[in-house]
């Protein structure tokens, strides 16, 4: 079963997992299996005035729609491209007096598209919107209450002259958004900025150690191969971050996506031993000591979150240092509680321009990640990139260049050469290579030139630490 640009994949029914996607030909790491535009997509409520509603790029100055005063665009080109999808929304917002929430806006865009094209197979889609899973029957009381509220708000917003849909179908659409809404990130892939529905991508099942990854690039979602894939192999993606114990990942998947993960890594609890590692040898700590340090780490992480929310970054650094003192004699180098503290410490210290200490923590974090993550994991690539930039800022040019090269190799596979963040990284790689050559020829001259350059230019401040994790694949309320 193939359709419009989707010849390399087919939908098949898997035992116990419903539909899935299967490769029709061989793929190598970094190959784009398919690129899919959104069936419908919207910008998050909090970012509607800073993100273009067509291409989802963050821009300094955006043009506002003169009619509804709600939608923003890069320029006239983006505004014209949006008109087919914005036309009904524009008049509905004017009639309603204000724009509704992102869920309501997305449901309305889906239903206006169905009104225009019917609910059958759209061009290039392997399945119709009708066929997507909604999991409404599995909703808990709280979720059912939210669903009722959404349906009521939708009915208030939906214009009376438009095609009227039954309550059951409207509930189905909200269920589809809840279970299948994919996160859209800004052009550099660093911040989640919107949510969209991609019917073909929805068919890819989860695996904690997948053979594919998903990236939003140039207005489309790309499904990219992470390892060699043979014809007939199932195509899988990970719905959650691997850096959690198998039991935690399974709980999260059950709660958010209503299925029990039976992947190899969960069944055999692979890598759990590394994530729970403790110091070995003569000084092996007692079980009670380990338990006490892990509880202390959990309590510290809560305090860190609170301090970050309040922008108290020096307090965050103090909490991290105190926690590391407790952790270091007890926890192994790959223990996830140690790695979480190292990650926060390196990010916040970089922001505070305390680069040398940040680089030390970043190096230890990356060494741990490399033993846990799939070698072509996107989050690993981003972490290695951040560590490389931190080393570069610290004047540790050899280690910095090495890390930037390693990150570039990963991102070429996970993001591809045309993605803005890969292009940024390529520029950094060229810059650090040039600096490294100078350093190797004349160390004294390198430091003199570096010192002069830093005096003459404002140090590039690292972005303010964010409480958000890297954009996750699915847009799902926690």
Q: Mind giving me the DSSP string for 161-221?
A: TSPP--HHHHHHHHHHHHHHEEEEE-TTSSSEEEEEE-TTGGGPEE-SS-SEEEEEETTEE
Q: What is the mean pLDDT of residues 368-376?
A: 97
Q: What is the mean pLDDT of residues 260-264?
A: 93
CB 424 within 8 A of CB 190: no
Tokens of 97: 């007096």
Instruction: Express each pLDDT in 381-412 by its tens digit.
Output: 999 999 999 999 999 999 999 999 999 999 99
Task: Tell which wins on pLDDT, 89 or 18.
Answer: 89
Q: What is the pTM of this model?
A: 0.89
Q: Where are the domains of the chain?
A: 9-237, 276-360
Which of 6-15, 356-365, 369-378, 456-465 is predicted least confidently?
A: 456-465
User: Does the CA dihedral 158-163-169-172 come out positive or negative?
Assistant: negative
R_g over Cα of the chain: 24
Is residue 245 classed as helix, strand or coil in its secondary structure?
coil
Q: What is the mean pLDDT of residues 207-224?
A: 93
Tokens of 230: 């043979």
- The Cα–Cα gap between 289 and 283 comes to 12
Task: Output the pLDDT for position 305.
Answer: 94
| H or E, element range at 224 | strand 220-225
- The Cα–Cα gap between 84 and 71 comes to 13
Task: Output the pLDDT for position 52.
Answer: 94
**CATH architecture classification, 9-237:** Beta Complex (2.170)
Which of 184-188, 193-197, 274-278, 305-309 is predicted least confidently?
A: 184-188
453 has pLDDT over 60: yes
- The Cα–Cα gap between 30 and 422 comes to 13
| Residues 6 or more apart whose Cβ sits within 8 Å of residue 292 | none
Q: Is 63 exposed, middle or buried (0-12, 13-18, 19+ CB in 10 A)?
A: middle
Computed over every residue of the chain, the mean pLDDT equals 90
DSSP letter at 21? E
Tokens of 477: 């309320």
Instruction: Express each pLDDT in 265-285 by its tens digit.
Output: 999 999 999 999 999 877 789
CATH topology of domain 276-360: 1.25.40
Instruction: Express each pLDDT in 100-145 by its tens digit.
Output: 999 999 999 999 999 998 877 777 788 888 888 888 888 888 888 9
* Pairing outcome for strands 205-206 and 234-237: parallel
Instruction: Express each pLDDT in 10-46 by its tens digit.
Output: 999 877 778 899 999 999 999 999 999 999 999 999 9
Which of 187-191, 209-213, 237-241, 436-440 is predicted least confidently?
A: 187-191
- The Cα–Cα gap between 104 and 98 comes to 12
Task: Output the pLDDT for position 348.
Answer: 96
Task: Tell which wins on pLDDT, 81 or 14.
Answer: 81
């Amino acid at each position: 079963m193939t359709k419009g640009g989707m010849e390399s994949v087919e939908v098949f029914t898997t035992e116990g997992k419903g539909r899935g996607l299967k490769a029709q030909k061989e793929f190598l790491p970094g190959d784009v299996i398919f690129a899919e535009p959104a069936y419908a997509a919207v910008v998050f409520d909090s970012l509607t005035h800073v993100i273009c509603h067509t291409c989802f790029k963050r821009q300094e100055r955006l043009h506002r729609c003169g009619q509804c005063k709600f939608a923003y665009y890069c320029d006239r080109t983006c505004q014209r491209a949006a008109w087919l999808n914005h036309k009904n929304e524009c008049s509905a917002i004017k009639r309603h007096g204000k724009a509704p929430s992102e869920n309501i806006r997305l449901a309305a865009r889906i239903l206006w598209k169905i009104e225009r094209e019917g609910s059958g197979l759209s061009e290039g889609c392997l399945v119709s919107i009708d066929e997507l899973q909604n999991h409404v029957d599995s909703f808990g009381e709280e979720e059912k209450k939210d669903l009722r509220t959404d349906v009521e708000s939708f009915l208030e917003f939906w214009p009376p002259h438009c095609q009227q849909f039954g309550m059951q179908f409207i509930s189905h659409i909200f269920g589809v958004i809840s279970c299948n809404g994919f996160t859209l990130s800004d052009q550099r892939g660093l911040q989640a900025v919107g949510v969209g529905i991609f019917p073909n991508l929805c068919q890819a099942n989860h695996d904690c150690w997948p053979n594919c990854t998903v990236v939003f690039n140039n207005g489309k979602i790309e499904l990219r191969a992470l390892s060699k894939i043979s014809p007939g192999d199932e195509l899988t993606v990970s719905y959650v971050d691997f850096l959690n114990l198998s039991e935690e990942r399974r709980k999260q998947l059950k709660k958010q996506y209503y299925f029990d993960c039976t992947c190899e890594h969960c069944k055999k609890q692979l890598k759990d031993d590394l994530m729970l590692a403790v110091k070995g040898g003569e000084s092996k700590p007692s079980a009670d000591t380990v338990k006490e340090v892990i509880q202390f780490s959990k309590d510290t992480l809560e305090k860190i979150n609170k301090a970050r929310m309040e922008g108290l970054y020096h307090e965050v650094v103090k909490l991290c240092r105190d926690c590391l003192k407790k952790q270091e004699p007890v926890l192994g180098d790959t223990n996830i509680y140690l790695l979480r503290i190292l990650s926060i410490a390196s990010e916040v210290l970089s922001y505070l321009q305390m680069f040398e200490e940040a680089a030390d923590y970043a190096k230890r974090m990356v060494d741990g990640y490399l033993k846990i993550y799939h070698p072509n994991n996107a989050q690993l690539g981003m972490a290695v990139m951040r560590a490389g930039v931190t080393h570069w800022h610290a004047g540790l040019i050899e280690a910095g260049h090495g890390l930037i090269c390693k990150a570039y190799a990963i991102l070429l596979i996970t993001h591809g050469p045309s993605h803005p963040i890969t292009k940024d990284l390529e520029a950094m790689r060229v810059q650090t290579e040039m600096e490294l050559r100078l350093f190797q020829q004349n160390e004294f001259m390198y430091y003199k030139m570096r010192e002069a350059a830093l005096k003459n230019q404002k140090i590039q401040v690292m972005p303010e630490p964010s409480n958000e994790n890297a954009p996750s694949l699915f847009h799902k309320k926690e």
